[in-house]
Every structure is written in C-alpha cells, then in structure tokens.
Structure 1
Amino acid sequence: MAIKNSAFEEIPTHVKDQGLVERRRTQIADAAVEMFLERGFHKTTTRQIARAAGISNGLLYEYVSSKEDILYLVCTLIHTEMQNAVSDALTRADAGIHPLAAAIRDYLRVCHRMGDHILLIYQETQSLPAKWRKVVLENEIRITELFADVLRQLVKTGELSAMDRDTLDLIAHNISVLGHMWAFRRWFLAGRYTIDDYIRMQTEFILARCREAGSEQPTGLPGKTPDEIPN
C-alpha cells in the first residue's frame, strides 16, 4: 500500500522523482514491518531491512536517513490503511446496513488483519523522535475523528438521537479502542469469538449506547441524581 504524500514529504531526500520516492519508501516500509515484528525495532538493522526490501543499504539511505524514519513510515502505512477502511465504508452505500455499523465493521476487519501491526505501533512508538511520535499520536486521533464525524452527521439527519459533545466524543474513542482491544486481547478473545462475532456484538453495543445517549440525565447515569452516584 502506498504511503501518503504527507508522510514522505516530511522526511528529506535528494531524489527528485516523488513517485519513485513513494514507491521505494513503501517498499522499505513493507519489508521493515515484517522485520520489526519478527526481531523487534532495536534488534533490526537497516542492512537487514534493505536486504528484505531487495535493495542495497546505500540505496536505502537515499530515501531515509535513519531507522527511526523507517519506523515512522511503518506507523504511517498502518494508520493510512485504517483510515482508508473507515473512509471507504462511509462513502459506500451498503444496502440494509447502518452507516455507523458499516464503518465499525470495516475498521475492525482491518484491525483484525493488522493486529500485529497495531501492537508494533504501541510497542515501538516511544523509539521515535518527538516530532514523529507527535504525528503518530495525531494520526490516532484522526481515526477517532472519522467516527466522531459520522456520529455528528447521523445526529444531524436524525438517524441517531441528539447527544452532548462529550458523550459523542467518548463514543468515538470507544469505537477506535475496540480495534486495539481485539489486537491486545485476541489471545483470549479469539478463543471465544470469531471476528464476525466480535464485530456484531460490539456494533450492537455501540448502536444501543448511541440510542440511549439522547435520553440520559445530565449526570450520564439515567434516573440517578448526583448524590446517588457512587464515588
């Protein structure tokens, strides 16, 4: 999968052909994913990545300046695929499927397919320079914002009950974390549920929560006054 322009433009290169830069960096990132998953970031060398990508170590350094640059490209590739899955689901009209359900379904399927990659982001992000780490975290929020946008749109069209901003944002974060949860806990969850079971149950939970949100008391706990809420 090609890495977005915004990622490869941020990393300096002397190569003028931007199409070639995109192809080479995607080739390098694809090879690095497998190496990082197998060996870990710190035990993987650029020479090993270059060999796996089918290029020389010298050629690799024409497109990146460090192993940290490669890790940043890997994180960007993973986030791009997740964002594209959600965006595609939102622009596609799936007959008989709630738009939010379609977005959740496609997002969770990507998270299922890229579970090891998601773990890689969480394990190795701290190895990035601060400027790249900030971008990776912003990409996480950008995925959450896709869900917040569809929730706002569905509230606007009346397909979901009105809800306050804090509730809407929290539901969007919950959806985003459901994909991470499958990646982190699949050692247990996959023994009890198929990914389709997980998608169905979590979608039902989220849609039920959305329907309830509009009728809740300001405390967020229906039927309870602030004095009745346990500490």
Structure 2
Amino acid sequence: MEKREVHASVKDESLVNKRRNQMIKGAVTLFKQKGFHRTTTREIAKAAGFSIGTLYEYIRTKEDVLYLVCDSIYDQVRERLQKDLDTKQGTLESLKRGIANYFRVMDEMQDEVLVMYQEAKSLSKDALPYVLKKEIEMVGMFEDVINRCVENGELVLAKQQVQMIAHNIFVQGQMWGFRRWALQQIYSLEEYIELQTELLFKGITLNERG
C-alpha cells in the first residue's frame, strides 16, 4: 500500500518537511486538548507559528494534517524500534531488552500515542488502511524476535501464539500512554516495564512447560 501524497504548492522539499514538522507538533498539542474535530486549521497555523495562508501552502485540508501526524508518529516509533530491537539474536534477554526499549519510546511519545488512539478513526478511507498497515508492520518486528527465540529453542510456541504475544506487547506499550491517568498513580515507568515483562514471561514459560 503506497504512501498517500499530501499536496504542497511549495517545491523546496526541506522547507516542506520543516514546516510540516512544526505543523505536526502544534497539531498534536491541540488534538490532545480539544480533539481533531474541534480544532481549526487557523489554530493549527497559530500553534505552528505561521499564518493560515502559509499553512495552506503545505496542506489542502485539516484531514491532511491528521494524516501527517499519524504517519509521523508511526515513522518515529518504527525508526526507534528498528534501532533498539535486535531481531537476529533470538534470546529471551534480547526480547526483554526490546520490550523495555519500546515501552520507553511509548513513554516519551505519550501525547502522540493518545492522539493516535483518539483520532485515527477520523482519517479518510484512503489514509486509514495505510496507517494501520504501518502498525501491523511494527507488530511484525516483535513477531520476528519471538520467532527467532523459537528457532533457537528458547521458546516453544505455535504461530498463533507468537502473533498474539507480539500484539500484546505492542498494546501494553501503548497502554502506558492512553491509561496513564490511572497507571502513573500506581507505577513508575520502570516498575511498569518490570511487572508487564514478568507477567508476559511467566505466561510464555508456563505455556512452554505445558
């Protein structure tokens, strides 16, 4: 599935990227506070630090901004995951490290994660499948690590179990962002990482013994 093209009348690619990054930053704050539908393009322009006229040189609609926000968030997470997730080693220790690093990324991007969960449903029909496909690809990174553990004899899991565990890890990381109002009253980030990892590994090893 191809990346959706967002039209810009400005031809300088570095300037387009710079302005859109300013736009994304301002939009995340506004969408978190007010939601996508109640936020105006004029407010996004102001938060980004330029005029409404300038804004429309880089996008055509408010929906374009939401798409850019979602696309940017997933790109950032995937980039960090690719850097921190060792898909080749195939040890339980590398899986544990990968989970901890992913949860820390989710902590750093709490506002963005919250916006994703609240507003992704407002994406247009042509944009939503592309964004959701990117999420599935990131879940696939965890599947690769777990599968390598299976190949190395560190775990005994069926294909469906591997897929479910990968999805669980992914959602547990995001949960730190969208349930933070409750979780952060009980756990520090490191406590949350330790407890979730302990519960996950207990389930995996129980399954292995079974």
Please report the TM-score for the alignment, with normalisation by the length of structure 2: 0.88
How many Å separate the matches in 2 of 1:50 and 1:193?
37
1:83 Cα deviation after fit = 1.7
Residue type matched to 1:173 in 2? H
Q: Could you tell me which amino acid in structure 2 is paired with residue 16 of structure 1?
A: K
Task: Return the match for 1:201 from 179, 195, 198.
Answer: 195
1:102 aligns with 2:97: yes
| 2:150 corresponds to which of 145, 155, 159 | 155
Assess if the C-alpha contact under 8 Å between 2:31 and 2:39 holds in 1. yes
Cα distance in 1 for residues equivalent to 2:201 and 2:160:
17
Q: Is the 8 A contact 1:86 1:104 kept in 2?
A: no
- Residue 45 of structure 2 corresponds to which residue in structure 1? 50
| 5+ long unaligned stretches in structure 1 | 1-5, 217-231
Please state if 1:171 is matched with 2:162: no
Superposition TM-score, scaled by structure 1 size? 0.81
Q: Is the 8 Å Cα contact of residues 87 and 144 (structure 2) preserved in structure 1?
A: no
Cross-structure match for 2:30: 35
Residue in structure 2 matched with residue 112 of structure 1 by the alignment:
107
CA contact (8 A) 2:30 2:44 kept: yes
Q: Is the contact between residue 86 and residue 98 of structure 2 (CA under 8 Å) also seen in structure 1?
A: no
Once the 2 structures are TM-superposed, how far is the Cα of residue 97 of structure 1 from its aligned partner?
A: 8.5
Letter in 2 for 1:10: E
Partner in structure 2 of residue 189 of structure 1: 183
CA contact under 8 A between 2:28 and 2:111: conserved in structure 1? Answer: no
Q: Deviation of residue 26 (structure 1)?
A: 1.3
In 2, Cα distance between the equivalents of 1:181 and 1:188?
10
Larger relative contact order, structure 1 or 2 (CA cutoff 8 Å, min sep 6): 2
* CA distance in structure 2 between the aligned counterparts of 1:36 and 1:184, rounded to whole angstroms: 14
Amino acid in structure 2 at the alignment position of 1:210: I
State the 1:149 CA deviation: 1.2
- CA separation in 2, counterparts of 1:17 and 1:91? 36
How big is the shift at 1:185? 2.4
Q: Tell me, in whole angstroms, the C-alpha distance in 2 between the residues paired with 1:16 and 1:153.
A: 45
CA-to-partner distance for each residue in 1:36-69, whole Å, 9 max, x for gaps? 1122211211111111112221121111111111
Separation in 1, partners of 2:145, 2:178: 26
How well do the aligned residues superpose, as a CA RMSD in angstroms? Answer: 2.3
SS at match of 1:10: coil
Whole-angstrom distance in 1 between the partners of 2:81 and 2:29: 24
User: Structure 1 CA distance, aligned partners of 2:178 and 2:39?
Assistant: 23
Q: 1:121 to 1:11 in 2, by over 3 A?
A: same
Distance (Å, rounded) in 1 between the aligned partners of 2:155 and 2:92: 18
Q: Which amino acid aligns with 1:211?
A: T
Match of 2:127, SS? Answer: helix
What is the CA–CA distance in structure 2 between the aligned matches of 1:141 and 1:69, rounded to whole Å?
Answer: 22
CA contact (8 A) 1:108 1:199 kept: yes
How far residue 209 of structure 1 moved from its aligned partner, in angstroms, is 2.8
- Label 1:10 to 1:145 Cα distance change in 2 as closer, same or farther (>3 A): same
Length, aligned pairs only: 207
Q: Would you say the 8 A contact 2:92–2:149 is kept in 1? A: no
Displacement of 1:74 in angstroms is 0.9
Cα distance in 1 for residues equivalent to 2:14 and 2:152? 41
Moved over 6 A (4+): none
The separation in 2 between residues aligned to 1:109 and 1:168, in whole angstroms, is 22
Residues 152 and 97 (structure 1), Cα distance of their counterparts in 2 relative to 1, 3 Å cut: closer
